[in-house]
Chain A
């Protein structure tokens, strides 16, 4: 079952912040975040494996609330290069299944 992402789309001006949410109806073991530019393959951003874990990459960070079965991706001081579609992927505890959400399209304008 696919995780649910929100919002579906967001438009930002350079320097603005945004939050993308990901939730699952099933217990989560891991949350994966990827970004896909138009016409390209998705590219890995980060994985969160423990409840409460937070990670960051440049000014993109994420948190994982295992109890709430949710994760959030934070885009801080957005840059034009942050434009793309962001996907969260969820992993289960007992096999290698990796399901992705419908994606959030981020457009950053100058």
Chain B
């Protein structure tokens, strides 16, 4: 079955440590996204990528880094520079159809807790 997979589902991190969240898709989508979800703040865009080896900062990129070495993979690293990393993280992917972006598919999310 085609889809987008995030792992792990739950992640605990000690303060000061970097941690990497995995996102893999087998939908052959060009565009991939990382969002952070906090109560009352909706989905805030961290980074997005249009093509392999290229990515752009979203609205809240500070303290995060990404890579796009393969079309199907878009891992997100939460660095120690991120002051408040505890949140729910969602990865998404989309195909670019004629006229613009098409439907975005979301993974099931990773809940990160800093302890």
| Residues of chain A within 8 A of B75, CB atoms compared | none
Per the bound structure, the CA–CA distance linking A40 and B94 in Å amounts to: 18
- The chain A residue sitting closest to B99, CB to CB, is A49
Question: Known: A29-B100, A32-B104. Contact between A100 and B94, CB under 8 A?
Answer: no
Per the bound structure, the CA–CA distance linking A42 and B43 in Å amounts to: 10
Give the interface of B toward A (CB within 8 A): 30-31, 33, 35, 40-45, 48, 50, 56, 58-59, 90, 92, 94, 96, 99-109
Per the bound structure, the CA–CA distance linking A12 and B96 in Å amounts to: 36
Per the bound structure, the CA–CA distance linking A3 and B41 in Å amounts to: 11
Per the bound structure, the CA–CA distance linking A47 and B101 in Å amounts to: 9
| Beta-carbon contacts under 8 Å, A90-110 to B | 91, 95-103
Give the interface of A toward B (CB within 8 A): 1-2, 5, 8, 29-30, 32, 34, 40-44, 47, 49, 87, 89, 91, 95-103
Q: Is the CB of A96 within 8 A of B48?
A: yes
Q: Could you write out 22 A-B pairs with CB less than 8 Å apart?
A: A2-B42, A2-B59, A5-B42, A29-B100, A30-B100, A32-B101, A32-B103, A41-B109, A42-B90, A42-B106, A44-B103, A44-B105, A49-B99, A87-B43, A91-B100, A95-B56, A96-B50, A98-B48, A98-B92, A98-B94, A99-B58, A100-B42
| Residues of chain B within 8 A of A96, CB atoms compared | 30-31, 48, 50, 94, 96, 101
Q: Is the CB of B101 within 8 A of A98?
A: yes
Q: Is the CB of A97 within 8 A of B42?
A: no
Besides A41-B107, A95-B56, A102-B41, 19 new A-B residue pairs in contact (Cβ under 8 A), listed by A number: A1-B59, A2-B42, A8-B40, A32-B101, A34-B104, A40-B108, A41-B90, A42-B90, A44-B103, A95-B50, A96-B101, A98-B31, A98-B45, A98-B92, A99-B58, A99-B59, A100-B35, A100-B42, A100-B43
